[in-house]
Chain A
Amino acid sequence: MDKQESGIRIIGVLVLIAFFAAALLAYVNKITRDPIARNMKEETKRAVRIVLNTLGEIHYPDDPALKKLNDFEARYFPAVGKDSALVGYAIIVKAPNGFGGDFDLMVGIDSTGKVLDTYVLNHKETPGLGDNMKKEDFKKQFRNRTLENTKWMVKKDGGDIDALTAATITSRAFTSGVKRALLTFKALHKGKQK
């Protein structure tokens, strides 16, 4: 085809293409930036609504606050009801040592310290096994438990929690995750009551 490809032309064309490509991308980025950011937040907020579903109409901040305890940290959304009174928290903790590593768990806790519901944000547990922790059958046993009224261990380890069939590892992680959330709640609530 082109017999003499001068150096200038070669480099020039590539540079031009790169320029237009990047410019195009910058433009697309400009359009999509906000929806993406919104989507990211939306997911967490949707989760908050799910775990605090039983509290009726609530209001909560756009971004979570951070709470550090001795051996782990947690992010949380304090939720207020219609009358602006604090009705509960949605607390995000890392559930430690799952089958596929740590995973993020959101726990809804009402103002009395009872677990309302749980939501797994992202995880690498095995589909069909560990990821059954998202199922109602497993989740329901956590409702209404508090830090005090429950031994926060799976039954195999002498606690009160029924493990998922053949997924004790996940169940253990999940259980410690919920416990972490309750500990966080305790720390937060103590502060509030002062």
Chain B
Amino acid sequence: MTDLALIIVSAVFVNNVIFSRFLGLCPYFGVSKKLDTAIGMSMAVIFVLTLAGTITYIIQTYLLVPLNIGYLQTIAFILIIASLVQFVEIVMKKVAPTLYRGLGIFLPLITTNCAILGISILSVQFKYDLIETIIFSFGSALGFGLALIIFSSVREALDTREIPKAFVGAPIAMIVAGILAMAFMGFSGMVK
């Protein structure tokens, strides 16, 4: 039990996807201009990442390994993830249009989010079992969500501040992310 808790703490704080693993940065910078969208995106990522982590785990352990075709990992994972995301999108659009308007619009963005593929590959590398993989994927997504939500609230606040022209937009966002990454370094060593 403590092990699982530690996986979460590690994924959220110590080895945060954004600030320590450097995964999923494009949507992190792209979808963080408004808090509301950031919250939607975080939810979508939590949903998809947990799902993708689970399914890729199954593919890896019951297909790729027994058949000895580990080198197809990348291509198989990305194919699965892409179809999965699109499938969810299509179904959600029809079945739950309100949810779609909240989350669905982020789904296409998620396909090209390396956090999904990256975390899936990492859980394989870390040799996690199924439960650990699910917790790890969920925790990483949670870390993404936390980082995204505080980041976007800061960026929204920056909208009302007088940023020098040369720094408006991406540069100041990078600097804020840098300072946040420094703050996150305080958690280093908490989970070995």
Interface residues of A (CB under 8 A from B): 18, 21-22, 25-26, 29, 97, 99, 101-102
Task: With both chains docked as a complex, state the minimum distance between the C-beta of B155 and any C-beta of chain A, in angstroms.
Answer: 30
Total inter-chain residue pairs, C-beta < 8 Å? 14
Chain A residues touching B, majority SS: helix
Structural contact, A25 and B79, CB atoms closer than 8 A: no
Residues of chain B contacted by A26 (CB below 8 angstroms): 69, 71
User: Bound state CA distance, A102 and B79, in angstroms?
Assistant: 35
Structural contact, A29 and B71, CB atoms closer than 8 A: yes
User: Bound state CA distance, A102 and B192, in angstroms?
Assistant: 8
Structural contact, B192 and A97, CB atoms closer than 8 A: yes
Task: With both chains docked as a complex, state the minimum distance between the C-beta of B123 and any C-beta of chain A, in angstroms.
Answer: 17
Residues of chain B contacted by A21 (CB below 8 angstroms): 75
Known contacts A26-B69, A29-B71, A101-B192; can you find 11 more A-B pairs with CB under 8 A? A18-B79, A21-B75, A22-B72, A22-B75, A25-B71, A25-B72, A25-B75, A26-B71, A97-B192, A99-B189, A102-B192
| Chain B contact patch, size range | under 10
Residues of chain A contacted by B79 (CB below 8 angstroms): 18
User: Bound state CA distance, A99 and B188, in angstroms?
Assistant: 9
Task: With both chains docked as a complex, state the minimum distance between the C-beta of A99 and any C-beta of chain B, in angstroms.
Answer: 7
Output the nearest chain A residue to B74 by Cβ-Cβ distance.
A25
User: Bound state CA distance, A29 and B75, in angstroms?
Assistant: 14
Task: With both chains docked as a complex, state the minimum distance between the C-beta of B111 and any C-beta of chain A, in angstroms.
Answer: 16
Output the nearest chain A residue to B191 by Cβ-Cβ distance.
A101
User: Bound state CA distance, A101 and B15, in angstroms?
Assistant: 12
14 cross-chain CB contacts under 8 A: A18-B79, A21-B75, A22-B72, A22-B75, A25-B71, A25-B72, A25-B75, A26-B69, A26-B71, A29-B71, A97-B192, A99-B189, A101-B192, A102-B192
User: Bound state CA distance, A97 and B71, in angstroms?
Assistant: 33
Output the nearest chain B residue to A96 by Cβ-Cβ distance.
B192
User: Bound state CA distance, A99 and B192, in angstroms?
Assistant: 8
Contact residues, B51-102 vs A (CB, 8 A): 69, 71-72, 75, 79
> Top 6 A-B pairs ranked by shortest CB distance?
A29-B71, A101-B192, A25-B71, A22-B72, A25-B72, A21-B75
Output the nearest chain B residue to A14 by Cβ-Cβ distance.
B79
User: Bound state CA distance, A18 and B71, in angstroms?
Assistant: 14
